[in-house]
Amino acid sequence: MTVYPVTQRRRPSDATFLLQWIASVVGGLALFLVFSLALLLGSGLSYASKIYPGISVAGIDLSGLTEKDAAVLLAARITYPQTGKIVFQYQEHIWAARPQELGLSLDVEANAQAAYRVGRSGNPFKRLAQRLGAWHSGENLPLALTFDERLARDYLAQIAAQINRPTLDASLSVNGLEVIAVPGQIGVQIDIAATLAPLEQQMRSLSDGVIPLVVQETPPAILDASQQAEAARRILSAPLTLTLPETAAGDPGPWEVPREQLAAMLTIQRVEDSNGATYQVALDEEALYTYLNSLAGSINRQPENARFIFNDDTRQLELIKPAVVGRNLDVYTAIKTINAQIAAGQRTVSLPLVYTQPEVGNEATGEQLGIREQIISYTTYFRGSSAERLQNIEMAAANFHGLLVPPGAVFSMASVMGNVSLDTGYAEAWIIYGGRTIKGVGGGVCQVSTTLFRAAFFAGFPIVERYPHAYRVGYYEQTANGWDDRLAGLDATVFVPVVDFKFTNDTPYWLLMETYFRPNSRSLTWKFYSTSDGRRVEWETTGPQNIVEPPDPVYEENPELAEGEIVQVDWAAEGADVTVTRTVYRDGQVLFTDTFITHYLPWADVYQYGPGTQLPNRRKPRVNP
pLDDT tens digits, 432-485: 545 555 455 446 789 999 999 999 999 999 999 999 998 888 889 999 999 999
The DSSP result for 223-248, as a single string, is ---HHHHHHHHHHTSS-EEEE-TT--
- The CA distance from 367 to 507, in Å, is 15
- Report which residue type is found at 92: E
- The CA distance from 410 to 460, in Å, is 14
pLDDT of residue 618: 52
Give the pTM.
0.63
Q: Tell me the three state secondary structure of residue 60.
A: strand
| Low-confidence residues of the chain: pLDDT under 70 | 1-18, 20-21, 23, 25-45, 420-443, 617-625
**Spans of all domains in the chain:** 44-167+189-214, 226-356, 366-609
pLDDT of residue 497: 79
- The CA distance from 486 to 580, in Å, is 9
Counting residues of the chain whose pLDDT is more than 70, the rounded percentage is: 88
Q: DSSP label at 304?
A: B
- The CA distance from 471 to 576, in Å, is 8
Helical ranges in 553-598 per DSSP H: none
**Cα→Cα distances 131→30, 37, 55, 109, Å:** 20, 13, 9, 21
With CA atoms as reference, report the closest residue to 451 among 388, 401, 520, 408.
401
The CATH architecture annotation of domain 226-356 reads: Roll (3.10)
Q: Which residues contact 42 (CB under 8 A, 6 or more apart)?
A: none
- The CA distance from 501 to 413, in Å, is 6
How many Cα atoms occupy the beta-carbon half-sphere of 235 within 13 Å? 30
pLDDT of residue 293: 95
pLDDT tens digits, 44-62: 567 888 999 989 988 899 8
- The CA distance from 533 to 530, in Å, is 9
**Are the C-beta atoms of residues 213 and 159 closer than 8 Å to each other?**
yes
∠ CA 451-453-458, nearest 5°, is: 95
pLDDT of residue 625: 36
Q: Which residues contact 184 (CB under 8 A, 6 or more apart)?
A: 168, 169, 170, 219, 220, 222, 223, 224, 225
Q: Is 184 left (phi over 0), alpha (psi -120 to 50) or beta?
A: beta
pLDDT of residue 168: 93
Sheet holding 93-97, edge to edge: 93-97, 86-90, 209-212
Other residues' Cβ atoms within 10 Å of the Cβ of residue 309: 18
